[in-house]
A and B are shown apart, each in its own frame.
Chain A
Amino acid sequence: METNQRLTDDHFPENPEKATLDGKNKFLGFWLFLGGETVLFATLFAVYIGLRDNHMDGPSAKELFQLPTVFLATMLLLTSSLTSVYAVLALKQNKVKSMIGWFLVTLLLGLGFLGLEVYEFIEYVHEGHTFTKSAFSSSFYTLVGFHGGHVLFGCLWLVTLLLRNWNRGITLTNAPKYYLFALYWHFVDVVWVFIFTVVYLMGKVG
């Protein structure tokens, strides 16, 4: 069978994302990649934790952070993780329209998160929390910015994926691609949970 043929309900494999060797390889390779990404973010967290109290004459974390905005951003991103789960569930049931719909909601939530983050950063800069201000500000923008960059990359990835496969249904070629995107999105979400805790909550009370 051709791997780029639209799958029908009669011949729909249980796990379309792992039904070919190529899919299996991508699945495993991506998990490993996320392992590497975990170390990458762990390093950034370690640096941030080491430097977060050194705000010099700039604002401290306690003075700076506005939890309501951050909470809203967190809710947007957590919800987007949920909608990407719905999209993957639809994928596994060969419900193309529903899958695309849920991915579009995911995309919108992701963009909303990015918008809030940009707004937040602009506010901070106005309050004197610039990238070059102190070790705290440098490590803050690097950690949170790396995460934001990951969200942005994810959005671009999803747009490309949806446009390319808009009319092609679910195939053995694109099923792993959708699935990997969802994995990536969850990972980015999990990283945010840690950022919310370590950077913002601990910044407020720690």
Chain B
Amino acid sequence: MSTLASHSKKSGLMDWLTTVDHKKIGILYLVAGGLFFIIGGIEAMFMRIQLFKPENDFVSADMFNQLLTMHGTTMIFFAAMPLIFAFMNAVVPLQIGARDVAFPFVNALGFWLFFFGGVMLNASWLLGGAPDAGWTGYAPLSTTSLGSGVDFYVLGLQISGAGTLIGGINFLVTIINMRAPGMSFMRMPLFTWTSFVTSGLILFAFPPLTIGLFMLMFERVFDANFFNPDNGGNILIWEHIFWIFGHPEVYILILPSFGAISEVVSTFSKKRLFGYSAMVFATVLIGFLGFMVWVHHMFTAGLGPIANSIFAVATMAIAVPTGVKIFNWLFTMWGGKIVFSTAMLWAVGFIPTFVMGGVTGVMLAIPSADYQFHDSYFVVAHFHYVIVGGVVLGLFAGLYYWYPRMFNRVLNETLGKIHFWTFFIGFHLTFFPQHFLGLMGMPRRVFTYLSGQDLDDLNLISTVGALLMAVGTIVLFINVIISTSKKYAPSEDPWNGRTLEWAIPFPTPEYNFAQTPLVRGLDPFWLEKMAGNKKMTPAEPVGDIHMPNGSILPLFMSIGLFVAAFGAIYKSILVGVIGLAITFLCMFLRSVIDDHGYHIHKKEVEEDMKEGRS
């Protein structure tokens, strides 16, 4: 080995800007996703304040349209997606016993593309108004929307979508090619399995979005006619393409949450997951069926009874594998030695909440009933029950569970429980009444309502609930700040973990595993502990460890596209060309500069092992 080890450590900011380490990228995703989660949350609070009483004038109708569009877009694409990628980055390589992902450089690029996409979208607030056509951007509303708000939506999503796509490919390859010896597919932890299926969904669901956004951009910037009936276009094409992406997207979001819940429930019940293979099968089946149900978003578009019936049946079929999962979690807890840690509370709170979202989902899957529910607050209640009650509760469970691994600190349990109860009660207070508001005829996406229609009280309750959720989130941030104290350093194996990410010391060494572990079954770390071993049995002798070099290029590639997007919005060819030139130059540099990484010498690794650092 002639590549020399001595690698200069970069300092502070430069380290974060150039990192290709999956653990650091996970933290970047978490912080950036958290930031956008706050922004999206503030937008939601503004809407709830506007709606707390009839005929309120806190915001204008126009501003309300921007708020609802930005809330939806931000929460789906720039809060939920990155938070999922945060945990996938932080956990998946560790769970399969790998030293990094398959393409560390691409991983960094994926993060920066997402980040600049989010900045792009939010820049619209300062540059003449945010998009106002809803997060679904239906044509012709989006094609004829005045100002450049929708352009920011299109290009922000386009840039971040590219990042998500390459992230998905990266995790597919990582999980297929980089598993430790003995880690067969049917021994993979469920979070890895769900991340795997989610990555597959990303691979096949994001390209239609890319094309849809291109068409929308061509329509707005170059006067194309895809969605313009006057020139032979068809607005239904947008709806189809958007939902062919959009429905798998909701499974992209929920599956990793299912995975996190599975890990948490199993760990804190001290039992192996009940029906592991059924869980895997259910995950794959949900992923598969997720592509065949998009028309249930378009029941009222007039596709006819046959199309509607087929998609209705397909939609209801998804309830079966989902039900399998629910029962498996319950059976995992059954007879277990349950510890109600904060993570477990979130997981236990998740189960009935998600079931309620699932039940309203089956109600909405009935086309004739959907004609009644469509575009009402009933739909709003339903998708918040599955996305907040499902995805977000699962992410919080994952946050409390994996926080020690990511940040080398344990979150405070008391504050955690306060966070749980305020957020959980606040959530139900906010969204449960919205079912009834919808059934009573309150339409979604409308900035106000008249008094005397029995809508006042339930709206007030809903707003109070939203405030409670905000309080819960503030408690979480206090918790995060407090946990920086050394007092909160984690003990060895804080949760009595079962999977490989708990088999290494704190903080995680930069090469993860000094020696690649040998996996002897499902829950490999638990098996070793039951066999009386403190550590994993290694599958290889100690040796030099190959590491990738950091690079600033991903950042600049993303900045290039960010600049080019402004060129497209303000129709400046010069700016567009400069932006693309930056990106292509970076790609060219990446291609011509050989970067073989460096090695951490065997001696250094041995020293780390002696001192208990790895």
Contact = CB atoms under 8 A, between A and B. Distances in A.
Interface of A: 2-4, 21, 24-25, 28-29, 32-33, 35-37, 39-40, 43-44, 47, 50-51, 54-56, 131-139, 142, 160-161, 164, 173
Interface magnitude class on chain B: 35 or more
B458 to A, nearest CB: 41
Contacts of A44: 211
15 contacts: A4-B596, A24-B177, A25-B177, A25-B178, A29-B103, A36-B203, A39-B208, A43-B208, A43-B211, A47-B211, A51-B234, A54-B232, A132-B224, A135-B233, A139-B226
Given A43-B241, A134-B232, A28 B211 contact: no
B218 A138 contact: yes
A164 B226 contact: no
Contacts of A33: 169
B234 A135 contact: yes
- Interface class of chain B by DSSP: helix
Contacts of B596: 3-4, 173
Contacts of A160: 588, 591-592
B88 interface: no
Interface in B196-237: 203-204, 206-208, 210-212, 214-215, 218, 222-226, 228, 231-234, 237
B65 to A, nearest CB: 28
Interface in B556-589: 588
B239 to A, nearest CB: 12
Contacts of A35: 203-204
Contacts of B208: 39-40, 43
B173 A28 contact: yes
Contact of B223 (A39, A132, A164): A132
Nearest to A40: B207
Contacts of B2: 2
Candidate in A2, A4, A47 with the most chain B CB atoms within 10 angstroms: A47
A56 B232 contact: yes
Interface of B: 2, 102-103, 165, 169-170, 172-173, 176-178, 203-204, 206-208, 210-212, 214-215, 218, 222-226, 228, 231-234, 237, 241, 244, 588, 591-592, 594, 596
A127 to B, nearest CB: 17
A93 to B, nearest CB: 24
Contact of B225 (A37, A134, A173): A134
A162 to B, nearest CB: 12
A129 to B, nearest CB: 13
A32 to B, nearest CB: 5
A137 B596 CA distance: 47
Nearest to A25: B102
Contacts of B232: 51, 54-56, 134-136
Contact of B224 (A2, A142, A164): A142
Given A139-B226, A164-B591, A164-B592, A28 B177 contact: yes
A36 B165 contact: yes
A160 to B, nearest CB: 5
A50 B210 contact: no
Candidate in B233, B234, B241, B596 with the most chain A CB atoms within 10 angstroms: B233
Contacts of B231: 54, 56, 132-135
Contact of B594 (A4, A29, A133, A142): A4
Contacts of A131: 222-224
Nearest to B210: A40
A43 B237 CA distance: 10
A37 B225 CA distance: 24
Given A36-B206, A51-B234, A131-B224, 7 more contacts: A25-B102, A25-B177, A25-B178, A28-B173, A133-B225, A138-B226, A142-B215
Candidate in A3, A29, A55 with the most chain B CB atoms within 10 angstroms: A29
A51 B231 CA distance: 10
B215 A47 contact: yes
Contacts of B233: 51, 54, 135, 138
Contacts of B211: 40, 43-44, 47
Contacts of A47: 211, 215, 226, 237, 241
A47 B214 CA distance: 12
Given A32-B203, A135-B225, A50 B173 contact: no
Nearest to A174: B594
Contacts of B170: 29
Given A28-B177, A37-B207, A39-B207, A138 B225 contact: yes
A89 B516 CA distance: 36
Candidate in B165, B172, B207 with the most chain A CB atoms within 10 angstroms: B207
A176 to B, nearest CB: 12
A25 B103 contact: yes
Nearest to B214: A142
A169 to B, nearest CB: 14
A173 B592 CA distance: 12
Given A29-B103, A43-B241, A135-B234, A51 B169 contact: no
Nearest to B236: A50
Contact of A138 (B169, B176, B203, B224): B224
B210 A32 contact: no
